[in-house]
A and B are shown apart, each in its own frame.
Chain A
Amino acid sequence: MVQYCQTRFDVSFGALADATRRGVLEQLGRADASITALAEKFHMTLTGMKKHVGVLEQAGLVTTEKVGRVRTCKLGLRGLQEEAAWIERYRQLWGARFDELDKVVEELKLKEKVDGRKKRT
C-alpha cells in the first residue's frame, strides 16, 4: 500500500515542481491557514497565492473552505487516499487475473513438454 501511496504522491508532486507550493503544503501541515495569511507568509500577491492553491487543490493535496470572507486552506489527503485505495483494488483484480493466467501458462508448458515427448517416441 505504501508503494501505491508513493506512486500517487509522485503524480501529485508534479503539481509541486514549485518551491512555493511545497512550502504551502509544509505550512498547512502545521496548521490550516487563510489564502491571505499564506500570501503574506510567502511574500506574494493574493492573486499569485490563489493560483498556487488552485493547483494544489486540483491535485487533491489541498482543500479550501470559504467561511464569511475568509478562504481557509487545509491539507486534503482524502482524494489521495481514495485514489490509492482504488489503485490497490485495481491491482488486486490484476493480481487475481495473473494468478489464474499463471495456471494456464503452466498447463501449456506441461502440455508442450508431453507433446514433445510423444513426438520423439
Chain B
Amino acid sequence: MDERRERETNPTKNRTAVERKSERELVATRTVNGPARLVFEAWTKAELFRRWWVPKSYGLTLLSCEMDVRVGGRYRLVFSHQASTMEFFGTYREVTPHSRLVWTNEEGDNGETLTTVTFDENAGKTLLVVHDLYPSKEALDAAVASGSTGGMPETLDQLDELLVSLGSSAVTK
C-alpha cells in the first residue's frame, strides 16, 4: 500500500525507459516493486505471463501460450485478431532462475532476434532490463521504418500493421 501511495505521489518512479543502444540493439528498462523471485515467476509461468504480455488496449487475444522454460525449450504464442491468427515462437537459450532469461525470436523473416532479460534485485525491488539484439541493422531499421511497433492503434489497419511489425521486429514473442 505504501508503495502505491509512493508511486502516485512520485510519477517519475518506475518509469519505463527505452533506448536504441546501437544499430542492432534496443533496450527497455523498468523497476518492478517485488523481489526477483516473484518477477521471474511472472516471466516464466505461462499462466502468469499471458496475463501481462499483451496489453489489453491492443485488442489482441492471446489464444494459447506454451512455454517450456529450460535451456533448449521452446515457446509458442498464438494471437487472434478478428479472423486471423498469428504465431510467435522461439527457443530459450539461457535460464538462470531469478536473474537471467535469454530466448530467440524465430518467427521473423530477417533472421533471429535475441532477447535477454536480466532481473536485478535491490531492496525488495527488481530492475528489469529487456535487451533485444536484432540480426542486423537493417532488421531494426525495417522495424522502425514500418512505424508501428506500439502505440494504441485505433483502426484495423493499424492493428494489422502492429501485428506485422510485432512479427518482424519480434517485440512480441
Contact = CB atoms under 8 A, between A and B. Distances in A.
Contacts of B52: 97-98, 100-101, 103-104
A120 B32 CA distance: 28
B19 interface: yes
A91 B55 contact: no
Given A90-B26, A91-B16, A94-B16, A100 B38 contact: no
Interface residues of chain A: helix, strand, loop or mixed (majority) = helix
Number of contact residues on A: which range applies?
20 to 34
Contacts of A89: 148-151
Given A87-B18, A97-B52, A92 B151 contact: yes
Interface stretch (A24-32, A45-53, A105-113): A105-113
A96 interface: yes
Contacts of B16: 91, 94-95, 98
A4 to B, nearest CB: 7
Interface of B: 14, 16-20, 22, 26, 28, 30, 32-34, 38-39, 41-42, 48, 51-53, 55-58, 128, 130, 143-145, 147-152, 171
Contacts of A91: 16-18, 28, 150
Contacts of A85: 147
A82 interface: yes
A85 B144 CA distance: 9
Contacts of A11: 20, 22
A104 B51 contact: yes
A67 interface: no
A40 interface: no
A112 to B, nearest CB: 7
Contacts of B147: 82, 85-86
B59 to A, nearest CB: 12
Nearest to A105: B34
Interface in A42-76: none
